Amino acid sequence: MEKFTKEMVDDYADKLLIGLTEEENKMVLDEFNIIDSDIAKVMEIDNIESVEPMTHTLDDFVYELREDVIEESVDIDDLLKNCDDYINDEVRVPKVVE
Amino acid sequence: MEYMSKSIEEIHEALKSSKVTSEQLVKESLEKAHAHQDEYNSFVTIIDDAKATEVTDSLLSGIPYGIKDNYSTKDILSTGSSNTLKDYVPFFTATAIKNLESNGAIGVTKCAMDEFGMGGTGTTCHTGTVLNPWDKTRMTAGSSAGSAASVASGVYPYATGSDTGDSIRKPAAYCGIVGYKPTYGMISRYGLFPFASSLDHCGCLTRSVKDAAIVVDGMKGIDKNDMTSWDSSDINLYESITGDVKGKKLCYIKELCDINEYPNANDELKSHLANFMDVIEKCKSIGIEVEEVSVDKKLLDALASVYVVISCAEATSNMSNLTGFIFGPRGEGKNYIEMMKDHRTKGFSPLIKRRFVIGSYVLQAQNKDRYFHNAQRVRRLLVDRWKELFKDYDAVILPVGSGPAKKLEGSKDILDESTKALEEHLQIGNFGGFPSITIPAGFIDGLPVGVNITGNCYDDANVLNIAYAIESTMNYKGQIAKEVRHD
CATH of residue B69's domain is 3.90.1300.10
CA distance B91 to chain A (A): 6
Which pLDDT value is given to residue B113?
Answer: 98
Q: CB-based contact (8 Å) between B80 and chain A? A: no
Mean pLDDT of all residues in B30-40: 98
Residue A76 lies in a domain: yes
Global ipTM: 0.91
Which pLDDT value is given to residue B413?
Answer: 54
Q: How far apart are CA B478 and CA B151, in angstroms?
A: 10
Which pLDDT value is given to residue B185?
Answer: 97
Which pLDDT value is given to residue B221?
Answer: 98
Residue A41 lies in a domain: yes
Mean pLDDT of all residues in B281-300: 97
**Which residues fall within 8 angstroms of residue B195, CB to CB, at 6 or more apart?**
B70, B116, B117, B118, B162, B164, B311, B314, B315, B318
Q: Do A38 and B92 touch (CB under 8 A)?
A: no
Distances (CA, A) of B363 to A39, B229, B316, B380: 14, 27, 9, 19
Mean pLDDT of all residues in B86-106: 96
Tell which residue, B305, B307, B374, has the closest CA to residue A44: B374
Which pLDDT value is given to residue B330?
Answer: 87
Q: Which residues pair with B158 in a beta bridge?
A: B206
Which pLDDT value is given to residue B251?
Answer: 98
Residue A44: domain span = 6-91
pLDDT higher than 80, residue B306: yes
Residue A46 lies in a domain: yes
Residue A1 lies in a domain: no
B167 annotated active-site: yes
Q: How many domains does chain B have?
A: 1
Which pLDDT value is given to residue B327?
Answer: 75
Closest Cβ–Cβ partner in A55, A74, A96 for B198: A55
Helix (H) or strand (E) holding A35: helix A22-42
Residue A13 lies in a domain: yes
Q: CB-based contact (8 Å) between B383 and chain A? A: yes
Kind of pairing between the strands at B131-132 and B135-139: antiparallel
Q: List, for residues B128-187, the tens digit of each pLDDT value.
A: 999 999 999 999 999 999 999 999 999 999 999 999 999 999 999 999 999 999 999 999
Do B449 and B441 meet the contact criterion of CB atoms below 8 Å apart? yes
Tell which residue, B125, B341, B415, B333, has the closest CA to residue A20: B341
pLDDT 10s per residue in chain A (98 long)?
A: 668 899 999 999 999 999 999 999 999 999 899 899 999 999 999 999 999 999 999 878 777 787 899 988 888 988 888 887 889 998 888 887 87
Percentage of the residues of chain B whose pLDDT score is greater than 90: 93
Residue B75: domain span = 1-487
Q: How many domains does chain A have?
A: 1
Kind of pairing between the strands at B249-253 and B289-293: parallel
Closest Cβ–Cβ partner in B88, B198, B353 for A24: B353
Do A93 and B325 meet the contact criterion of CB atoms below 8 Å apart? yes
Helix (H) or strand (E) holding B396: strand B395-399
Mean pLDDT score across all residues of chain B: 95
Tell which residue, B438, B456, B458, B460, has the closest CA to residue B448: B438
CB-facing half-sphere around the CA of A73: CA atoms within 13 A: 4
Q: 10 Å Cβ neighbour count for A67?
A: 4
Burial of A70 (0-12, 13-18, 19+ CB in 10 A): exposed
Count Cβ–Cβ pairs < 8 Å, chain A vs chain B.
165
Residue A43 lies in a domain: yes
Q: CB-based contact (8 Å) between B417 and chain A? A: yes
**Which residues fall within 8 angstroms of residue A21, CB to CB, at 6 or more apart?**
B350
Length of chain A: 98
Which pLDDT value is given to residue B216?
Answer: 99
B102 annotated active-site: no
Residue A96 lies in a domain: no
Mean pLDDT of all residues in B362-389: 97
Which pLDDT value is given to residue A94?
Answer: 83
Burial B452-463 (b: 16+ CB within 10 A, else e): bbbbbbbbbbbb
Tell which residue, B59, B15, B12, has the closest CA to residue B213: B59
